[in-house]
Amino acid sequence: MKWALPIGRPFGIRVEIHATFLLILLYIGWRGWGLGGPTTALWAMLLVALLFVCVILHELGHSVMAMRFGVQVRYIVLFPIGGVAAMSEIPEKPIREFLIAVAGPLVNVVIVLLLRPITGSFFPDPGIEVFPYDVPSLIEKLQLANAILVIFNLLPAFPMDGGRILRSLLAIPLSYEWATQIAVWGGQAVAIGFVLLGLRWNPFLVLIGGFVFFGALSENRLVRTRARFRGVRAADLMSGPGAVLGPEQPLSDCMRLLADRRQADFLVLAEGRLAGILERDRWMRAVEVRGADAPVSTAMRRSFVCFRPITEMSTAWKDMLTMDQKLFPVMEGDELMGRVTQEDIVRFLARSRGPEPVFHGWSSASPSRTTQQSRWSIDLG
Ligand SMILES: [Zn+2]
User: According to the 3-state scheme, what is the secondary structure of 133-187?
Assistant: CCHHHHHHHHHHHHHHHHHHHCCCCCCCHHHHHHHHHHCCCCCHHHHHHHHHHHH
According to the model, what pLDDT value does residue 213 have? 87
According to the model, what pLDDT value does residue 376 have? 52
Q: What are phi and psi of 329, to 5 degrees?
A: -65, 145
According to the model, what pLDDT value does residue 366 have? 29
Contacts of residue 128, defined as CB under 8 A and 6 or more positions apart, other chains included, come to none
The candidate with the shortest Cα–Cα distance to 129, out of 119, 144, 114, 117, is: 144
Tell me the three state secondary structure of residue 252: helix
Q: How far is the CA of 378 from the centre of ligand 1 (A)?
A: 6
Q: Given the DSSP bridges, would you call strands 73-79 and 14-18 parallel, antiparallel or unpaired?
A: parallel
Q: Given the DSSP bridges, would you call strands 244-245 and 266-270 parallel, antiparallel or unpaired?
A: parallel
According to the model, what pLDDT value does residue 39 have? 84
What's the Cα-to-Cα distance from 302 to each of 268, 291, 298, 305, rounded to whole Å?
Answer: 10, 20, 10, 10
Q: How far is the CA of 207 from the centre of ligand 1 (A)?
A: 17
DSSP 8-class letter at 298: G
Q: How far is the CA of 318 from the centre of ligand 1 (A)?
A: 25
Q: How far is the CA of 101 from the centre of ligand 1 (A)?
A: 6
Alpha helices of the chain — where are they, by DSSP H?
A: 19-68, 94-119, 135-153, 161-170, 176-200, 203-228, 234-237, 252-261, 280-290, 313-322, 342-351
> What span, in angstroms and rounded, lies between the C-alpha atoms of 225 and 227?
5
Q: How far is the CA of 59 from the centre of ligand 1 (A)?
A: 6
Walk me through the domains of the chain, giving residue ranges and CATH numbers.
4-165 (no CATH), 234-351 (3.10.580.10)
Q: How far is the CA of 245 from the centre of ligand 1 (A)?
A: 51
**Would you say 278 and 252 are in contact if contact means Cβ atoms under 8 Å apart?**
no
Q: How far is the CA of 339 from the centre of ligand 1 (A)?
A: 41
Q: Given the DSSP bridges, would you call strands 335-341 and 327-332 parallel, antiparallel or unpaired?
A: antiparallel
Q: How far is the CA of 96 from the centre of ligand 1 (A)?
A: 15
| pLDDT one digit per residue (tens) for the chain, 381 residues | 677 888 888 998 999 988 888 888 888 889 888 887 888 889 889 998 998 899 999 999 999 999 999 888 888 988 877 788 888 777 888 899 999 999 999 999 999 999 988 887 777 777 767 777 788 888 988 999 999 999 989 988 888 899 999 999 999 998 888 888 999 999 999 989 989 998 988 887 888 888 888 888 888 887 787 778 878 888 888 888 888 899 899 999 989 988 888 888 999 998 888 889 999 989 999 999 999 899 999 989 888 888 888 888 877 777 777 778 888 899 888 888 889 888 888 787 777 665 443 333 222 222 223 333 444 544 543
Q: How far is the CA of 102 from the centre of ligand 1 (A)?
A: 8
Q: What are phi and psi of 235, to 5 degrees?
A: -60, -30
Q: How far is the CA of 100 from the centre of ligand 1 (A)?
A: 9
The candidate with the shortest Cα–Cα distance to 298, out of 276, 266, 267, is: 276
According to the model, what pLDDT value does residue 95 have? 92
The candidate with the shortest Cα–Cα distance to 228, out of 351, 79, 118, 55, is: 351
- Residues lining ion ligand 1 (Cβ < 5 A) are 104, 161, 377, 379
